[in-house]
């Protein structure tokens, strides 16, 4: 496992590389080349490591797959695809291509052929969907890389050369060694920060992802399947790989994403975090209109940070009101804000003993109309377990304070909702706020104890909430601490008397001066 110092040095190197290489390519777009190169290097070393270990087990200690003729290597293709989901010829390995990349006048064509070959190796197998289109964002002929083929190839070669110099670790079967995954997340965070909202849509800060994973897994010892219907780059799902996944290597990850770029990033992220192809199922499609995991439900844990106030068909689509996911509430989320449509979708997919932890836009907690009716349905059926108010300015491009809604079905032990005010649990981190581990621990303590704590937590009966317009806003129930200094009335009176005396004395002096002037 990389130390904090090693990670800091690696992150510093990545930052320098990214800035040196960007040129005229926008940072948020250029990350496709940096991440794509890292991914290409990772799977090349990964498949090389797979073959080397096999041959070493047979006594060939000096065997190196990278030096093997392509014709001989083809004999192991079927086994590699079955075990790892893909196959790469020795001549196509990153470490072999990078050697002569700066001298290869046809580098762009060679990379295109290699990427197609890697994806084609999975055709007709169980991993075909997991490999298809993974390199589609790595456009070797983009004009943004240069105006001529020569210039584009020079920049591509520079990218490969610099990525080859990174220390990414080498123990691909060690779940504690996540240097590549950490590198990926650092790049995502860096580019999301620069891209503002457009980048932040694809990235949930690690401390929030971790909190959601802890909330969804607390007390649930038998999590076999975790789901995120708006999975983005997969950061929420992968927190389970680092926590629950260590105890359960057979944990299955399910996700859906509508954006092709982030759909590719999520699948790449799975490979980079050493999640085998047969343990994840990520689909590209509109979750609200075309759910892809109906047959895989129910799920033991659901974590998600769906897009805020997304426009959707709503009432304009007459089929939706009869959709089994939305019909129980009797109404649909407004066309201008699909937040609670995602919530109803996740509730339908949630197992009876499961837990869903969802980041929500604060407006859904108190707005009227159809959103109020959906809240009433959730509260009357005792599905809302906890509402947590988060600090402001945690997310990239979103300064507003968001919240977390925790849903449960049969797992609830009372007919109440726990409200937690964590709005002041943060430290400043540059121009953003940050949840420290101790802040997360305090939230988890309050969540587990499920009892009142002044200024921090309040357990409220469902009937009381329904009488209050089904308002789920934390500030409506948790008393706010008065941080103003107490007033000492005696001290105030003494000061006032002193000021009056000084005023009378001054008036006397002024009257005396005026009389002298008149005399």
pLDDT, one tens digit per residue, over 66-95 is 999 999 999 999 999 999 999 999 999 999
* Cα(172)–Cα(53) distance, integer angstroms: 12
Given a cut of 60, is residue 172 above it in pLDDT? no
pLDDT classification of 200: cutoffs 50, 70, 90: very low
Helix axes 235-242, 179-195, angle to 10 degrees: 150
Residue 509, classified by CB atoms within 10 Å of its CB into exposed (0-12), middle (13-18) or buried (19+), is exposed
Task: Enter the pTM of the model.
Answer: 0.85
Q: What is the pLDDT of residue 24?
A: 56
The more confidently predicted of residues 5 and 495 is 495
Peptide bond into 455 cis (omega under 30): no
Q: What is the pLDDT of residue 174?
A: 47
Q: What is the pLDDT of residue 199?
A: 44
Given a cut of 70, is residue 278 above it in pLDDT? yes
Contact 87, 277 (CB under 8 A): no
Given a cut of 60, is residue 171 above it in pLDDT? no
Contact 401, 423 (CB under 8 A): yes
Given a cut of 70, is residue 367 above it in pLDDT? yes
Task: Give the containing element (helix H, strand E) for 240.
Answer: helix 235-242
Q: What is the pLDDT of residue 494?
A: 81
Given a cut of 50, is residue 175 above it in pLDDT? no
C-alpha distances in angstroms, 451 versus 142, 419, 444? Answer: 58, 10, 12
Rounded to an integer, the average pLDDT of 419-448 is 93
What confidence tens digit (pLDDT) does each residue in 389-419 have? 999 988 866 678 899 999 999 989 899 999 9
The CATH fold assigned to 4-195 is: Ferritin (1.20.1260)
pLDDT classification of 432: cutoffs 50, 70, 90: confident
Rounded to an integer, the average pLDDT of 253-273 is 89
> Largest Cα–Cα distance of the chain, in whole Å?
122
Rounded to an integer, the average pLDDT of 310-324 is 95
The more confidently predicted of residues 329 and 393 is 329
Q: What is the pLDDT of residue 384?
A: 98
Q: What is the pLDDT of residue 25?
A: 61
CATH class of 199-476: alpha beta
pLDDT classification of 273: cutoffs 50, 70, 90: confident
The residue written with tokens 């110092």 in the block is 5
Rounded to an integer, the average pLDDT of 52-76 is 92
CA angle 394, 400, 406 (to 5 degrees): 70
pLDDT classification of 196: cutoffs 50, 70, 90: very low
Q: What is the pLDDT of residue 21?
A: 66
pLDDT classification of 485: cutoffs 50, 70, 90: low
Q: What is the DSSP string of 65-125?
A: GGGS-HHHHGGGHHHHHHHHS----GGGSHHHHGGGGGG-TTHHHHHHHHHHHHHHTTTTS
Q: What is the pLDDT of residue 194?
A: 57
> Which segments of 149-195 are extended strands (E)?
none
Q: What is the pLDDT of residue 86?
A: 95
What confidence tens digit (pLDDT) does each residue in 87-140 have? 999 999 999 999 999 999 999 999 999 999 999 999 999 999 999 999 988 888
Q: Which of 120-129, 458-467, 508-517 has the lowest mean pLDDT?
A: 508-517
Half-sphere exposure of 194 (CA within 13 A, CB side): 15
Domain residue limits, the chain: 4-195, 199-476, 490-519
Rounded to an integer, the average pLDDT of 413-433 is 92
pLDDT classification of 257: cutoffs 50, 70, 90: very high
Q: What is the pLDDT of residue 28?
A: 62
Q: What is the pLDDT of residue 483?
A: 63
Averaged pLDDT score across all residues of the chain: 87
Contact 300, 222 (CB under 8 A): yes
Given a cut of 50, is residue 177 above it in pLDDT? no
- Give the residue among 195, 226, 379 at the shortest CA–CA distance from 302: 226
Q: What is the pLDDT of residue 73?
A: 95
């Amino acid at each position: 496992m990389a130390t904090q110092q090693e990670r800091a040095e690696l992150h510093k190197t990545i930052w320098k590389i990214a800035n040196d290489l960007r040129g005229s390519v926008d940072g948020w777009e250029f990350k496709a080349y940096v991440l794509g190169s890292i991914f290409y290097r990772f799977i090349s070393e990964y498949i090389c490591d797979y073959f080397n270990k096999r041959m070493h087990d047979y006594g060939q200690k000096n065997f190196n797959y990278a030096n093997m003729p392509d014709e001989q290597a083809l004999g192991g293709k079927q086994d590699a695809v079955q075990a790892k989901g893909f196959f790469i010829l020795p001549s196509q390995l990153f470490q072999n291509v990078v050697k002569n990349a700066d001298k290869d006048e046809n580098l762009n064509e060679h990379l295109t052929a290699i990427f197609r070959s890697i994806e084609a190796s999975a055709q007709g197998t169980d991993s075909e969907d997991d490999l298809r289109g993974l390199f589609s964002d790595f456009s070797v002929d983009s004009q943004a890389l240069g105006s001529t083929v020569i210039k584009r190839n020079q920049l591509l070669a520079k990218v490969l050369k610099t990525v080859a110099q990174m220390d990414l670790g080498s123990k691909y079967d060690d779940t504690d060694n996540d240097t590549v995954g950490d590198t990926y997340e650092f790049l995502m965070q860096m580019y999301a920060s620069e891209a503002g909202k457009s980048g932040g849509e694809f990235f949930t800060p690690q401390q929030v992802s971790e909190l959601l994973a802890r909330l969804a897994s607390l007390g649930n010892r038998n999590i076999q399947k975790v789901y995120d219907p708006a999975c983005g780059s997969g950061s929420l799902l992968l927190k389970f790989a680092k926590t629950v996944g260590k105890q359960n290597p057979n944990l299955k990850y399910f996700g859906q994403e509508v954006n092709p770029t982030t759909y590719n990033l999520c699948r790449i992220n799975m490979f980079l975090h050493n999640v085998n192809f047969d343990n994840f199922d990520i689909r590209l499609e509109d979750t609200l209109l075309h759910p892809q995991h109906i047959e895989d439900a129910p799920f033991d844990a659901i974590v998600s940070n769906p897009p805020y106030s997304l426009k959707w068909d709503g009432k304009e689509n007459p089929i939706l009101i009869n959709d089994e996911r939305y019909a129980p509430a009797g109404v649909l989320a407004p066309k201008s804000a699909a937040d609670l449509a995602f919530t109803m979708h996740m509730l339908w997919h949630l197992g009876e003993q499961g837990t869903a932890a969802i980041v929500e836009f604060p407006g859904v907690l108190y707005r009227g109309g159809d959103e109020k009716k959906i809240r009433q349905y959730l509260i009357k059926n005792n599905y809302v377990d906890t509402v947590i108010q988060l600090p402001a300015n945690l997310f990239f491009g979103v300064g507003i304070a968001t919240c977390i809604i925790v849903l449960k079905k049969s797992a609830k032990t009372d007919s109440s909702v726990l409200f937690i005010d964590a709005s002041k649990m943060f430290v400043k981190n540059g121009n953003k706020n940050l949840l420290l581990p101790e802040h997360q621990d305090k939230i988890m303590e309050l969540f587990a104890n499920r009892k009142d704590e002044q200024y921090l937590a309040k357990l409220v009966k469902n009937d009381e909430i329904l009488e209050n317009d089904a308002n789920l806003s934390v500030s409506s129930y948790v008393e706010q601490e008065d941080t103003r200094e107490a007033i000492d009335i005696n001290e105030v009176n003494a000061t006032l008397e002193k000021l009056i005396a000084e005023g009378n004395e001054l008036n006397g002096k002024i009257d005396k001066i005026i009389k002298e002037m008149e005399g």
